[in-house]
Structure formats: C-alpha cells, structure tokens
Amino acid sequence: MIDQNSRFVYLIICLIAISACSTSGKRSDTISTINDGILVPDATTKKQESIIIRPTKKTEFISKPVVRNLLKKAKIHSDVMDYDSAINLLERGIAISPNNPILWQNMAAVRLKQGDLAQAKQLAMKSNVLVEADEELRSINLQLINEASRREKVQKLGGSVLH
Amino acid sequence: MKAPSIKFSRWRRIIYPFLILFLIFSFFFVSYMIKLDKQVTEQFEGKRWEVPSRVYARPLELYAGKVISVDQLLFELRLLRYEKSTDNDIGSYLQQDNKVAIHTRPFNFWDENAPSIMLEVTFKRNKILSIKDTNSQEELDVWRLEPLFIGGIYPKINEDRVLLRIQDVPETLINTLLEVEDRHFYEHFGVAPLSIIRALVANIRAGGRVQGGSTLTQQLVKNFYLSSEKTITRKLNEALMALLLEFHYSKNEILEAYLNEIYLGQDGSRAIHGFGLAAEYYFDKPLENLDETQIALLVGLVKGASYYNPRRFSDRALKRRNVVLMVQARAGIVAEEDLVELKDSPLNISKYGPSGVTKYPAFMDLVRRQLNKDYRPEDLSSAGLRLFTTIDPLVQFEVEESIDKRLPKLEQKAKLEKNVLEAAAMVTDAGSGAVRALVGGREFRASGFNRALDSHRHIGSLIKPAVYLSALQQPELYRLNTTLEDSAITITMENGFQWSPENYDKREHGDVALISALANSYNLATVRLGMELGLDNISHTLHALGVEREIAIYPSMLLGAVDMSVYEVLKMYQTLSAQGFQTPVRAIQAVTSSTGEVLSRYPINVEQTLSSEAVYLLKTALQEVAKTGTAKKIYRRMPQSFSVAGKTGTTNDYRDSWFAGMTGDKVAVVWLGADDNQSIRLTGSSGALPIWTDIISATASRSMDIPIAENIIFKRSSAIIHTSGSVKCVENKVFPFIWGSVPSRLEEPPCTEDNLLTND
C-alpha cells in the first residue's frame, strides 16, 4: 500500500535534489545509434536492443518555480485532508504544464485518498504515459494503480458479502 | 305601542340594506385584501432573493516563464478596467518599458481569497521574467489576477442586481435616501397621508408634478409591478399593499428590499436594479467605496433613472445631484462649508459600466448547457450563484480578430457574396480540456444560432485519423511505413449502388507509405485501408475518440460523410492530444453560492479509451501533415522548430472548410461554410487553416513534443514517401514503432533503382 506521506516525502526529496544541483543538469538529449540502429528512449528499460540513454527528465518536470509552488501548496492542503483545494492547485499546474507526469501522479494520489478509485487509476495511467524514461515515477504510478485495484477488489468483495 | 314598532321597522328598512351592503362590501374587501396580501408577500419574498448568477472568465495566472506579451497583459488589465495611472491606487497599472506595475484588486476566488497587492511584472521579450511584490520586495512564484466578469444569467425579464445586506450599506446612503425620499420612514405605517396632502398642495401650486407623496414602502410596491400605469385604482392598490407590507415585515427588511429593488438604470436589455449594482454600473466601484457626491447622484436617480441618466444627460444629472447634495448639507450629512466645493465636483462616473450583457454569448450558451445538467434554470437566474468558467479572453480575442479579418478576404478570394461565409471555432487546453475560446458565428456578440455546438456538417478528411488509428492499433499489420495502395476502387453497396471515390487531384498515386497517405490526405488509399479494416472497426474507433452520436455505417463515412459539430470534432482531437485519454471538454471550473460556499466543482476526469502507443504513431503522422502534407502552409508563418499536428478537411463541392489541430498546450478546431450549404470554394487548407494558424501563433506557447510512450522504439527503416508531388523511396529513415512490431527486412518496402532517390 502506498502511503501518501511517502509520496510527498519523495517529492520533497526531488525538490531538494533539484535545488542542490539545479545547474548541474547538463543533459544530452540527442539520439544516437549504435549497432543495429534501434533507438529507444532509455537504456534502463528492459529491452535488450536498447542503445541510447535518455537522462531522467524529473528535474525538468518540476524545475519551474510555479509548478513547485503549486505542488507544495497542494501538499499542504492534502495533508489537512482538504482534497478539493489540493486538486484545484494541481489542475492549475496542469493548465501551465500539461504534460507534467508529477502533477498527474499527484492528482491520482489525491483521488485515491478521496476514495475515487477509478479516477485514481486512470490518472496514474495518464501520468505513466507521460513519464517517458523516468522509472521511478513509473514505479510509483504502478503502485498507485495496484493500490486502487486492490481497494476496488476489497470493495467488490465487501459488496458481494453484503448482498 | 305601535308607533315605535313602526318607527323601528322603518329604521330597519333603511338600515338593513345598508348593513347588507356593508357586509357584502366587507366580504369583497376582505377577499380583495387577502388576494392583495398574497400577491404582495409573494412578490416580496420572491424579489428579495432573485439575484442573477455572475459569470467569470478564467483568472490570468502570472508566473515567471509564462509566454505573454506586455501588450497582452495590458489588454487583460484594460478588460478588467484597471486604470493607467501614476497614483498607484487599487485597480491601477503603469507600464514602463519591460515592466508593468499593477495594484491588484482583492478577489474572492472559489478556493481562496486573494488580497490586493502591488506587483511588478518584468518581461523579457514575450515572456514574464519575474514577478515581485513591491511592498515586501519578494519574488512571487505565481499570482492570479481577478477574473473578468463576463456577464450574468438573468431571468426572462432581464433584471440584474448585486445583493446588499442592510448592515453593509453605508449610513450616508441610507440617511441621504430617507432625507430625500421619505423622512418619516421609521414612523409611518406604509402610507403617510400628510405627505400626500403636502405633495398635492405643492403640485397644485406649481401647476404640475413637482413633489411625490409616496413613501419608500409605496415606491417599493410600485417597483413590483412591471407597468407604470397611473390610475386611481393602481394608487389605491399601492397604498393598500404598502400597509400590508408594513404589517408583515420590519422596517429594515423593507428598506433592504428597497435598496436592492429600486430601478436605477438600463444597460441595453439589462435593467439595473438596486444600489449595489448601480454603484458598479456607474462608478465601477463597490458601494462602500463611493463618496458623498456619488451617493448623492445615485439617490438622485431614484426620481427618474432614464431622465437623469448621467451618461446621456450629464447636465440634468449634475443638477439633480446638487439638489441632493443640498439636502445632504441641510441634514448635516455633509458639512455646509464643503457644499460649494462638492457641487463643483464633476460626476466622476466611469466611461463604461461593466456590462452584464455578455460579450461572449456563444460561450455562455455552452456554460448554460453544461450547468443545466446540475442546476435548474430558475436557480441559475435567481440564486445569485457565482460561476467560474474557463474562457480565456485573450484567446477568444485572437479567434474573433482572425475570423473578423479573414472572412471578408476569403469571400473576395472565393468570389462569394459578402457575408455568405460563416465560421465557428473552439480552442481548448490540451491537458485539461478547458474551453478557452468559442465562436458560434461571425456575429460574435449576437446570441443567435450557435454553429460551434448546433451546426452539424460533413467533416470530410477530419475523419481520416480515425481510419489510420484503427490500422495502427494493429501494430503487427500496420506501421507508419507500411505500403498502402492509392489506386481506383469501386465499391458496390447493398442496394446495388456503386461508389467510386476519387482523389482531390483526380489522380492515382500508386504505392505510398501509410504516413504519407495521411499527410497528403489520399482518398483512395484511405478508402482501401478502411474497407480492409472494416467499417465497424472505424466506427468503434470514432466512439473511442469520444463521438457519442450513432454513425451510419456506409463506405462514404471513410471520407467524412458523417455530420458533426465543431464541438464533437474538438472532442475527438482532444482525445488524440491527450494520448488516447478522453478528457471532457469543460467550460466551468466551479460554482459557488453568493456567500462563497463551493456548490460544485468540475475537476479533470480522464478515461483511457485508446492505446497510447497507437496514438503516438498517429500524432507523428499528423505532424507530417503540417511538415510536408496538406497543411504545410503553417510553416510559412511559424518557425519549423514549433511542432504542431493536425488535419485539413474539405467536403464535396467545397461546402465545408475545416482544420483541426493541436500543439503542446492547445487544441483548436475551425470550420468555415455557408448556412445554406452552398459551395464556398475553399479547401481546408485555403480557408480554415490560415485562421487556425493565426490563433495558434498568437496563443500557443508549447511545441508539440509528444511524450514517448513506454513501448515505443525508434528504428531506421525504408518507406515510400510522397512530398510535393514527388515520390521517393527513402531508406534509413527513423520511424517510431510499437515494441514488437518492428518490420523485418522482408516487410519493408523494397527500394528499387527507380524509386530509391534519396537517403534521409
């Protein structure tokens, strides 16, 4: 089960990491080919033909102060169970940075807390489509999806017992 | 003994009829009073709460890195009626080179209350470099300006008001009002006979009506009626109703109702009721911020809001205001020694009132429709709700400006009669599906036929992405470089009718890579592909894209013989933009009660209905439409580095001209056509596309870098590419493939000596 606090701890770690090395992020986004000419986004994926490395884009996802600010505020609201405000702040972020997987992921996490399991799953899936090479984010999304599915099953079981 | 009896019976004979008459009269009088009582209490209860909804646009978010020009920010500030000034008052701004100083107004959003602060926004080219709170000298990450009020939702009789509570009304206003209109308000029972007599005498002396004897209660009752007929019966009724009103309600309740109810002006079809709205309408300020002279003017208007209309008859209004000022001085509300100065001061009314008659009727139409699912129309027009919508006035302006500018030129170019060409367009946010602009016809301010929502036309080639997406969802069979055949085909329908589609250029193009067939919008290749896939399959994909209507399954659907509105097309392309996730197209963010309590929120909901990998490939092909295909004109005006994706659509006999496309942050659909369905002699590329390009180049800030889905890999492969009429078999071109579907050498198109023209 994913703990919401750990989600945000993770986020804070990201923020610290970014602020600590915000200038060291010299990234080579170029696609190069080796061997048989197959290009994949990330060497860390399991595909054997993988050739090029695309560095994690996490820094880029939350490098904008405005996105960081909205995420921080969303966390504050989420912590006091004011989920509607948290979602509202994340949506403002999405309007500014529509393909930001961290925002979508946090939306999924807040919806999970609200008990909207179907949306939590869908939003985590949406985040997953946007994470590109970021395995860490992908893994959290999968945890969110699994947790939402688990709770759905529990609900269904509960339902069938009742009926 | 008899005499008295005779006398008595005579009396009886005289009195009885009177008694009976009296009883009958009493019966009717009481019945009538009951009827009046019912009427007056119903009116009073109803009127007290009938407050239209107030509708707001999206708030403009200011943050470092935002793409917005100084001009666009100033445009927004002017819409919000900020005044250019060096005084640094609330609601003012000042621009100096690349810096704009703003003293914001406070605003209660649905999620937080923003105070008034002083901002300094610094620009670098067309981007915000930084925002600073000039008081604390701190950099701000983000600041929301208050949203533009874009109109109200009124009941049929078009009354508008801003609800006031008596405790919030400035004392000066109440004192002035009572001094001028009804000095004995707190003493009488609704009617003041002495005042009536005094007024009668004064009027007879003056030989005309110079003084009114009506109490505030009577005036309030008068306002309940819609007509202004002046008959004795009506006067009597008013007096009786005033008495009844005083019997039922306290003085303060009556005064509060009066302050909210009294008619104080006319804004087009919208009637301005009450002092709260009048303060906004005439002075562009909340009531509590008015000075004595402004209050004097408003109280003066009670006597005749049309006759003393300060925007039309400023002299009359000034005279009337000064009469009220004198009353104020006599009553000690203003100091006698200030009177001369006050009388010399100008009216200080704002140039334009914030109009409640919306500038965006087509968008408001969508707002109403979306709200009608959750709210009763009468609640929308009377419960004083605050509706926070998604429209972006800056985007809406660009859409309107482009249509306004282009349509006459296009009519000329296509040799059409003037004003034949009609247009509809919608723009949404790529991520959230929020509607940022909506145009339902070239008369933007008229609330007529909403073509964006209600005009259903053939969509032509806009349907082709659904055909190609159906193919790409079978990655083992179809890839971007799969060779299709663009050659004549005749399909025999069930009824024996034969259909032989043609290409736009009436030619056959032979072998062509799937990506090129879509980029060049080849009809024959598409029909062959669609027939191979099966029409049910295409219909299924259309529904997965968000089309809700039933689709008639005919082969001609493959070329867009399917009727849809701009709204429906937008939903389809929104799903493509969102990587195969349906995202509802939303016009509303939140609804609050008049006191700020959130009643409804409309959060982003998504649902994956299509494979993200297949959508990734399709979007790559749609980028090709813009790079080398039917929409390549885009890059005559936009930098090559700014990636966009989209599709042109032209229908039979050039009846409709469409373009639907997307960037990293916007999805936009533009339609042009004639209401009588005549040929407009424009293709998607020559008609709708230039407008789309105008809109996107002015409002989009993110290039469409499609996030690479998990199972996408890139590989060099060969393909038969058609560009600008030439055919090349290119080898070693990098294509994205869905994992596991990389073609073997045998599956790649053979590049022969004849067609191997280049290595890309």
Judging contacts by C-beta atoms under 8 Å, the chain B residues touching residue A87 are 601, 603
pLDDT at B319 over 70: yes
Q: Where are the alpha helices (DSSP H) in B458-560?
A: 464-472, 514-519, 523-533, 535-544
A136 within domain boundaries: yes
C-beta separation of A67 from A103 below 8 A: yes
pLDDT at B263 exceeding the cut of 60: yes
Cα–Cα distance for residue pair B724/B722, rounded to 1 Å: 7
| A38/B579 CB distance under 8 A | no
Q: Which residue in the set B612, B702, B713 is minimally distant from A129, CB to CB?
A: B612
pLDDT on residue B230:
65
For every residue of B273-340, DSSP letters joined together read EHHHHHIIIIISS-GGG--HHHHHHHHHHTT-TTTT-TTT-HHHHHHHHHHHHHHHHHTTSS-GGGHH
Of the two residues B286 and B79, the one the predictor is more confident about is B79
Interface residues of chain A, partner chain B, Cβ below 8 Å:
31, 33, 37-41, 45, 47, 49, 64-66, 68-70, 84-85, 87-89, 91-92, 94-99, 107, 119, 122-123, 125-126, 128-132, 138
Q: Take residue B364 and report the two structure tokens written for it.
A: 């408001």
User: In Å, how far is B34's CA from the nearest CA of chain A?
Assistant: 50
- Which of B142, B664, B716 shows the shortest C-beta gap to A69? B142
Within a domain: A92: yes
Flag whether A30 is in a domain: no
Q: For residue A101, name the pLDDT band (cuts at 50, 70, 90).
A: very high
In-domain check, residue A12? yes
The number of domains in chain A is 1
Residues in chain A with CB shorter than 8 Å from the CB of B605 are: 119, 122
Which residue, B37, B108, B97, B35, is CA-closest to B70? B97
In this complex, which of B61, B598, B606 lies closest to A123 when CB atoms are compared?
B606
What are the tens digits of pLDDT across the range B521-555?
A: 999 999 999 999 999 999 999 999 999 999 999 99
The span from the CA of B744 to the CA of B628, in Å, is 27
State how far the Cα of A11 lies from the Cα of A2, in Å rounded to an integer.
Answer: 14
User: A20 pLDDT band (50/70/90 cuts)?
Assistant: very low
Active site residues of B: 181, 461
HSE-up (13 A, CA, CB side) for residue A150 = 9
Contact A132 B708 (CB under 8 A): yes
pLDDT at residue B457, as a whole number: 96
Chain A residue whose CA is closest to B602: A88
Cα–Cα dist B273/B301, whole Å: 12
* pLDDT band, very low/low/confident/very high, at A5 (cuts 50, 70, 90): very low
Q: How far is B582 from chain A (nearest CA, A)?
A: 10
A145 found inside a domain: yes
CB contact under 8 A, B434 and A85: no
Q: Which CATH number is A42's domain given?
A: 1.25.40.10
Specify burial of residue B97 (Cβ count, 10 A radius: 0-12, 13-18, 19+).
Answer: exposed
The secondary element (H helix, E strand) that includes residue B645 is strand B645-650
Write down the residue that tokens 């009388």 correspond to: B343
Average pLDDT taken over every residue of chain B = 89
Residue of B nearest to A82 (CA): B111
Question: Which chain B residues are Cβ-neighbours of A49 within 8 angstroms?
Answer: 713
Q: Which residues of B touch A91 (CB under 8 A)?
A: 432, 603-604
- B43-79: per-residue pLDDT in tens? 777 665 567 888 999 999 999 999 999 999 999 999 9
Assess contact for B718 and B84: CB atoms under 8 A: no
ipTM over 0.85: no
Check whether A47 has a pLDDT greater than 50.
no
Per-residue HEC secondary structure of B116-154 comes to CCEEEEEEECCEEEEEEECCCCEECCEEECCCCEEEEEC
Q: With CA atoms as reference, report the closest residue to B530 among B462, B466, B445, B588.
A: B466
Lowest mean pLDDT among A149-158, B199-208, B375-384, B689-698: B199-208
Q: Distance between CA atoms of B434 and B662, rounded to whole angstroms? A: 14
| Interchain contact, B579 vs A129, CB within 8 Å | yes
Any domain includes A146: yes
- A34-48, B2-16, B311-325, B342-356: lowest mean pLDDT where? A34-48
Stretch among A126-130, B44-48, B259-263, B565-569 having the lowest mean pLDDT: B44-48
Per the CB < 8 Å rule, is B715 touching A38? yes
Share of chain A residues as helix, strand and coil, in percent rounded to the nearest 5: 65, 0, 35
Query: Distance between CA B537 and CA B557 in Å, rounded?
Result: 12
> How many contacts (CB atoms, under 8 Å) link A and B?
112
Specify whether the CB–CB gap between A43 and A56 falls below 8 A. Answer: no
- Cβ pair A95:B432 closer than 8 A: yes
Which residues on A lie below 8 Å from B388 (Cβ)? none
Q: Which domain holds residue A58?
A: 4-19+38-162
- Nearest Cβ partner for B606 among A33, A87, A126: A126
User: What confidence category does residue B724 fall into, taking pLDDT thresholds of 50, 70 and 90?
Assistant: confident
Q: What pLDDT is stored for residue B735 in this prediction?
A: 93
Contact A66 B708 (CB under 8 A): no
Q: What is the dihedral of CA B294, B298, B299, B305, to 10 degrees?
A: 150
Residue B228 banded pLDDT, cuts 50, 70, 90: low
- Would you say residue B265 has pLDDT above 50? yes
Residue B159, pLDDT score:
66
Supply the pLDDT for residue A40: 23
The confidence band for B33, taking pLDDT boundaries of 50, 70 and 90, is: confident
CA distance A160 to chain B (A): 26
A53-76 per-position pLDDT tens digit: 233 455 556 668 899 999 999 999
A77 vs B contacts (CB less than 8 Å): none
Chain B nearest-CA distance from A147, in A, is: 18
Looking at B80-119, list the stretches that DSSP marks H as alpha helix, in order from N- to C-terminal side: none
Residue A27 belongs to a domain: no
For residue A31, pLDDT over 60 is answered with: no
Q: Which residues of A touch B434 (CB under 8 A)?
A: 95
In this complex, do A126 and B709 lie within 8 Å of one another by their Cβ atoms? no
